[in-house]
Structure 1
Amino acid sequence: MAEQATAEPDWVRCERCAALVYGKRYARTLRVCPECGAHGRLTARQRLDQLLDPGSCRPLAAERGERPAQHDPLGFTDTRPYAERLSEARARTGMDEAVVCVRGAVGGQPVVAAAMDFRFLGGSLGLGVGSQITRAARCSLRQRVPLLLVTASGGARMQEGALSLMQMARTAQALAELDEAGVLVVSLVTDPTYGGVAASYATLADVILAEPGARMGFAGPRVIEQTTGRRLPEGFQTAEFLLAHGLVDDVVPRAELRPTLARLLRLRSGADAARGEDAPAAERPRPATVPRGPAVRVVRTADELPERDPWDAVRLARHPMRPTAADYAAHLLRDFQELHGDRLAADCPAVIGGPGLLDGRPIMLIGHHKGGPEAEERRRRRHGMATPAGHRKAARLMRTAAKLGMPVVTLIDTPGADPGPEAECGGQALAIAESLRLMARLPVPVVAVITGEGGSGGALALAVADRVLVTESGVYSVISPEGCAAILWKDPAAAPAAAAALRLHARDLLRLGIVDGVIPEPPDGAHKDHALAAALVGGAVSAALDELRPRAPDRLLAERRDRFHRFGRLEEEAAP
């Protein structure tokens, strides 16, 4: 059944600001109010036309042996028979169900897309929607093509009873199979997305994007207020609220969705990019070609490095003008897409991360962000001190990288983990411990670079890697010199003496085997030339990845284990 075309009226009144907008102008702005930015609802076909490359959209064929979903499995009647409601929805929308599933391309990258339509019984999740989402996931799995889910739903379809409830488990299982196969899943949350859809496939994606103002939750705000008797905060369950609470990766205006999706799809792994012989030329991925960074001579022996005053090294490592993780991402990566949130409670600003192309190859970059020279921004970024949410965000991105076969690169520059009472109540110690365990078993290459200050467990939480490098002015220690001086010297002023005793600068770190190499910096330090500093780091990381990429996962894990087990081995051998 073909979806009925919906002609735009001559004038449209914005539901948010009540402004009158000329219909043709409203269509040109993709149904976004030019006065207040409110995003109007789109039909499933409008959504696909907006997101997919022109001419690339093809409907999914029914699978062999697939049975159509029952129209009215319960013979349900409320004020009207359910069968009548279904017939009316089909006649009004021209759709068979509340979702349209197709194959297509975004920016030349192949994709399987499932777009929901709220006009069809409120986009409710029933047998028909569950069947089509599952079919789309199976097509994605069979073709090893990323799956794009565009959600708009009021929840499960009550007229189908517990059978509709089972669709949550059914679709979650389908996405679990894509996880096991390493196929990228992207979810686009549109307004509204509630109930069973929010509690299944909408939130199980690797990347969750949301349109501005889109609302998502398990229970609707009216139900929550009636049940709890509490007034909800302003903006509750909106995309912006969800972003601040770590539940979505980004809020993307409608006009920017296609290029954002194209960037993400270009980052899928080589395994995901493998296409069947039936793939049309327009859908085959285009290989990225980017000039490689400069060849960098990483120092491997301590004697090649000059002696230096440890306290001077500490002060240089802390220089507020040193490049941040965001600076490195901007200089080194193409198509970097920052992802946000721990999908649990918060988005820690002290840790940033996301996928990007380094020398044309996908990596997952994760790093501490101190905030640069501005005092206010440094405070907002917590001076690079990660909260438990920061460690959980990093862990989530690492798991995504492992699923997609994507190397992980971490940039470490932190005084240590957040020492505040909120962090302790949030399980700081457990968050660090789980990060250490996760990194120890990641089946992809991991390269860590200490780009400034490597402080205590907060630094180590991103440094359980196959190769650990440090920039020439970087430092790495179990505790800050000031903390060590206060505890052991009983005098914080003894920090310079503590810095010398801790052997925390690059030369000693290399001699002790803590790091595998030292990356040179621009003359007088990385803060003098961000572009050159980034090029040197990028060259060293690329060389390390070139060395590690051919290794099978079992070898990576064994060598990573041995790398860290060797610390203390001399003491073990000397024991009686």
Structure 2
Amino acid sequence: MELAERGRAVLTRIAALPDDAWVSCRGCRAVVHGSKLRRADNVCPECGHHGRLGARERVGQLADPGSFEEHHADATGGDPLEFTDKLAYPDRLAKARKGTGLTEAAVVGTATMGGKPVVLAVLDFAFLGGSMGSVVGAKITYAAELAGSLRVPLIAVSSSGGARMQEGILSLLQMAKTSAAIGRMRRAGVPFVSVLADPVYGGVSASFAALGDIIIAETGTRAGFAGRQVIEQIIRQALPKRFQTAEFLHEHGHLDLVLNRSELFLVLRDIVACHAAAGTKPAEAVPAVAVQSEEADVWDVVKLARHPGRPNALGYIERVFTRFVPLHGDRWSGDDEAIVGGLAWLDESPVVVIGHCKGRDTPENVRRNFGMPHPHGYRKAMRLMTLAERFGVPVVTLVDTPGAYPGMKAEEDNQSGAIAEALVLSAGLRVPVVTVVTGEGGSGGALALATGDRLLMQQNTVYSVISPEGCATILFGDAGKAPDAARALRMSAPQVRGLGIADELIPEPEGGAHTDPAAAAAAIADALRRALRELHGTAPDALVAARYRRLHGYGSVTLPSPTGHHPIEENAHV
């Protein structure tokens, strides 16, 4: 409580600063002019330390001017336990209300961001440490229900020490209550963006704050379930300085983005705009250009597909899409840089783009594991696919991998299970899925991102069950016979199209995509416009049924349904 009172005092002091006042930064101890600090939203201009904002200041930072309409501003609770520590609970509440001007630690309501409607829910750390009791739980639950009914995104900004001890078990149960409300909102297909502002711990961290489809933390935010001092006391050892910081959590796959406060509104505005523009028809595209299909030597095509100068996924994302908000992490164990993805715009049409990503030089290739994902890379891809379904936007995947990473750690983390779950998810995804093979399409590691409604292949790309070297080693007993294996596998783009697998070949500049990346990207953009326009407006049930029919038809033989009915009709809702 002493920490909460200090936080409240700091906020009150900043809000009441006269124009000529000076304040000492809590980060670097520099003396900063009060008016300068206010203009910077309480971010120190000397060291970048992010001081706390009150709930109303935060609403003012995020909502379009004059757009916020608060709901249930006067909601108050009781004293169910008749709790007393140094102060009786009613007296502590009265003190917090006087110090902050709020009736409780949460402010909720409707607003617009960039002209698009949202529901906002903001916790104020200055009110009893932003702790979650019955009223805060009720307000967060109400905000989720309101967003679900209006079908607009919920944006929650959390700054909290956790569950409110003065309300005992009733406070603990707010964790389940708010989580259940977010779950209902998810099932309704309404997105939730969770913003973490220093600090976020305990019952808030382990409930609604951790359930965002997108989770963003401000620079320097500390977050976790148990606090640092508690952990050190229990395990009897000192923790690393960066432990539980936003940057630490980002590295471990828990967060999508870590942003400076000045960047927060712009990114949130783009996320909200993506949801608002869902269903926008893709722009017209020029007709497809026929690719000359004279048989090049397949081994030569393999070498072009692997050319180190060939654009990687980020290179194409930068050129094909007009805007891109990168998202990170699998929410479990890490952020696999062999998979990149996020929200993107093809002209004015939002999509979620996901791609295998090789490096552009040796150090980057090592960092990205040469485009070979670990299981947490596929879990990251699945999270982004689910996000696309929640936003109601198509998925575009860019395939370029020798295959899934075959190491010991990958097997320990269940590489097979991760790939299999990705296949199940993408087969039943209720939004269009378009795949572009931009280099190597190697084995199940490629297929995990390639189970969709359209398969497009650049002219000089390959797609097969195994690498030529792997096939040569296993079947020819000599890896040096990889060129012969490549020819036997019939893995070039024209050959894959000849097997009825690829829907369209995308022309490349003479000599390969690496000779003119901009022209190669322009051809991909046109192919995507054509494919997405074809799929636009298809009902989700029909989309999933057609995808199942497509998958059902692959192979040299198919069997009739054991029920005597067409398998598509039986699986329309799979």
User: Taking structure 1 as the reference length, what is the TM-score of the superposition?
Assistant: 0.91
1:158 partner letter: M
Q: Tell me the secondary structure at the aligned position of residue 570 of structure 1.
A: coil
SS in structure 1 at match of 2:230:
helix
Match of 1:97 in 2: 104
CA distance in 1, matches of 2:136, 2:382: 32
Correspondence 1:50 to 2:44: no
Do 2:374 and 2:415's aligned partners in 1 also have CA atoms closer than 8 Å? yes
Aligned residue for 2:232, secondary structure, equals helix
Specify the code of the residue in structure 2 equivalent to 1:395. M
Report the secondary structure of 1:105's partner residue: strand
Deviates more, 1:375-384 or 1:262-271: 262-271
Of 90-99 and 330-339, the range deviating more from structure 2: 330-339
> Is the Cα contact below 8 Å between 1:217 and 1:237 reproduced in 2?
yes
Cα deviations by residue, 1:475-506 (Å, 9 ceiling, x for unpaired): 01111111211222222211111111111101
Correspondence 1:457 to 2:439: no
**Within 5 Å, which residues of 2 pair with 1:101-180?**
101-180=108-187
Task: State whether residues 247 and 345 of structure 1, in contact with CA within 8 Å, keep that contact through their aligned partners in structure 2.
Answer: yes
Q: Find the partner of 1:211 among 218, 222, 230.
A: 218
Residue of structure 2 equivalent to 1:393: 380
Contact 1:298–1:517 under 8 Å retained in 2? no
Which string of whole-angstrom CA distances, capped at 9 and with x for unpartnered residues, describes residues 346-389 of structure 1?
000010111122131111100011022x1111111111111111
Give how far 1:181 is off.
Answer: 1.7
Q: Which residue of 2 aligns with 1:8?
A: 17
The answer to whether structure 1 residue 427 and structure 2 residue 427 are counterparts is no
The answer on 1:297 being equivalent to 2:288 is yes
Corresponding letter in the other structure for 1:154:
G
Distance (Å, rounded) in 1 between the aligned partners of 2:123 and 2:490: 59
| Rounded Cα–Cα distance in structure 1 between residues aligned with 2:304 and 2:197 | 47
CA distance in 1 between counterparts of 2:261 and 2:52 reads 11
How far apart, CA to CA, are the structure 2 residues paired with 1:558 and 1:144? Answer: 26
> Per-residue displacement from partner, 1:62-109 (whole Å, max 9, x unpaired)?
7xxxx9553211111123211111111111111100011122122222
Secondary structure at 2:494's aligned position in 1?
Answer: helix
The answer as to 2:349 corresponding to 1:338 is no
Structure 1's 216 and 572: CA in aligned 2 closer, same or farther, altered over 3 A?
Answer: same
Asked whether the 8 Å contact 1:269–1:405 carries over to 2, the reply is no
Compute the displacement of 1:269 (Å).
5.0
How far the C-alpha of 1:569 sits from its partner, in A, is 4.4
Report the Cα distance in structure 1 between the residues aligned to 2:353 and 2:87, rounded to whole angstroms: 55
Matched position secondary structure for 2:324:
coil
Amino acid aligned to 1:328: Y
Report the alpha carbon displacement of residue 16 of structure 1 after superposing the two structures with TM. Answer: 2.0
Per the alignment, residue 492 of structure 1 pairs with 479
Q: SS at the partner of 1:189? A: strand
Q: Which residue of 2 aligns with 1:283?
A: none
Give, in whole Å, the separation in 2 of the partners of 1:569 and 1:492.
28
- What is the distance in 1 between the residues matched to 2:68 and 2:27? 32
1:421-474: CA deviations, max 9, x gaps?
111111111111110111111111111110111011110000111111111001
Give structure 1 stretches of 5+ with no counterpart.
274-286
Deviation at 1:511, TM superposition (A): 1.0
Deviation at 1:313, TM superposition (A): 0.3
Partners of 1:417 and 1:445 lie apart in 2 by 24
Q: Percent identity?
A: 51
Map 1:345-424 to 2 at 5 A.
345-372=333-360, 374-424=361-411
Q: Residue 8 of structure 1: CA displacement?
A: 3.1
Work out whether residues 384 and 413 of structure 1, in 8 Å CA contact, stay in contact via their aligned partners in 2: yes
**Number of equivalenced pairs:** 547
Q: CA deviation at 1:197?
A: 0.6
Q: Would the aligned equivalents of 1:293 and 1:359 in 2 still touch at CA under 8 Å?
A: no
Q: CA RMSD of the aligned region, Å?
A: 2.0
> What is the CA–CA distance in structure 1 between the aligned matches of 2:187 and 2:472, rounded to whole Å?
49
Contact 2:285 2:530 (8 Å CA) reproduced? no
Task: State the Cα distance separating 1:403 from its structure 2 match.
Answer: 1.8
Task: Find out whether 1:542 has 2:529 as its counterpart.
Answer: yes
Which residues in structure 2 correspond to 1:172-321 (within 5 Å)? 172-268=179-275, 292=283, 294-297=285-288, 299=290, 305-321=293-309
* Contact 1:210-1:251 within 8 A present in 2 as well: yes
**Amino acid across the alignment from 1:355:** L
Moved more, 195-204 or 52-61: 52-61
Match of 2:30 in 1: 19
SS in 1 for 2:233: helix
Letter in 2 for 1:359: D
What's the counterpart of residue 547 of structure 2? 560
- 1:479 and 1:529 map into 2 onto residues whose CA distance is 29
The 2-side partners of 1:48 and 1:368 are apart by: 38
C-alpha separation in 2, matches of 1:464 and 1:235: 40
- Report if aligned partners of 2:394, 2:432 keep a CA contact under 8 Å in 1: yes
The 3-state SS of whatever aligns with 1:232 is coil
| Amino acid across the alignment from 1:443 | R
- 8 Å contact from structure 1 (residues 269, 362) kept in 2: no
Cα deviation for residue 243 of structure 1 reads 0.5
Within 5 A, what are the aligned runs for 1:320-335? Answer: 320-335=308-323
Q: Which deviates more from structure 2 when the two are superposed, residues 188-197 or residues 76-85?
A: 76-85
SS in structure 2 at match of 1:484:
helix
Give the Cα–Cα distance (whole angstroms) in 2 for the partners of residues 355 and 6 of structure 1: 36
The structure, 1 or 2, with the larger RCO (C-alpha pairs under 8 Å, 6+ apart) is: 1
Task: Tell me, in whole angstroms, the C-alpha distance in 1 between the residues paired with 2:111 and 2:337.
Answer: 36
Change (3 A) 1:418 1:298: farther
What CA distance in whole angstroms lies between the structure 2 residues aligned with 1:8 and 1:469?
61
Give per-residue Cα distances to partners, 1:240-261, cap 9 Å, x unaligned: 0010000010001011111111
| One-letter code aligned to 1:6 | A
2:426 pairs with one of 439, 446, 471: 439
* Range moving further from structure 2, 531-540 or 153-162: 531-540
Partner residue of 1:280?
A: none
Q: Alignment partner of 1:219: what SS? A: coil
Amino acid at match of 2:553: R
Counterpart of 1:217, as a letter, is G
- Structure 2 spans left out of the alignment, 5+ residues: 1-10, 561-574
State the distance in 2 between where 1:8 and 1:455 align.
62
C-alpha displacement of 1:397: 0.5
- Give the corresponding residue for 1:472: 459
Q: Who is 1:281 aligned against? A: none
Q: Letter of the aligned partner of 2:307 in structure 1?
A: H
Letter in 1 for 2:517: H
Say if 1:294 and 1:536, in contact at 8 Å, map to a contact too: no
Separation in 1, partners of 2:127, 2:558: 70
* Mapped contact 1:299–1:517 kept (Cα < 8 A): no
Give me the whole-angstrom Cα distance separating, in 2, the residues matched to 1:144 and 1:68.
24
1:233 is displaced (CA, Å) by 2.1
C-alpha distance in 2 between matches for 1:412 and 1:508: 17
* Structure 1 pair 455–235 and aligned structure 2 pair: CA distance change class (3 A): same
Change (3 A) 1:558 1:294: closer
* SS of 2:15 mapped into structure 1: coil
Q: Distance in 2 between matches of 1:334 and 1:267?
A: 12
Letter in 2 for 1:525: G
